[in-house]
Amino acid sequence: MEKQTFSIPNISCGHCVNAIKNELGEMVGIKSVDGNPTSKIIEVEWEAPATEDQIRAALKEINYPAA
């Protein structure tokens, strides 16, 4: 299992965090997604078949690219 913190400059509120949670939560292999709009970070925990590249691509696709 892998865990990483991503800096997401576009996060401005709890709704943004929920949108990210919903999108990433649909991916196979994602175990947990937690975020903080104040610090503009999300923490993602995953296992195969999900990959960091897939997570970054999904974030970019929904307009919340990781810095």
13-61 residue pLDDT tens: 999 999 999 999 999 999 999 999 999 999 999 999 999 999 999 999 9
6-23 residue pLDDT tens: 999 999 999 999 999 999
Instruction: Give CATH for domain 2-61.
Output: 3.30.70.100
Global confidence as pTM: 0.93
Q: Which residues pair with 43 in a beta bridge?
A: 5, 34
Residue with tokens 């800096």: 7
Distances (CA, A) of 15 to 37, 43, 51, 67: 9, 16, 25, 19
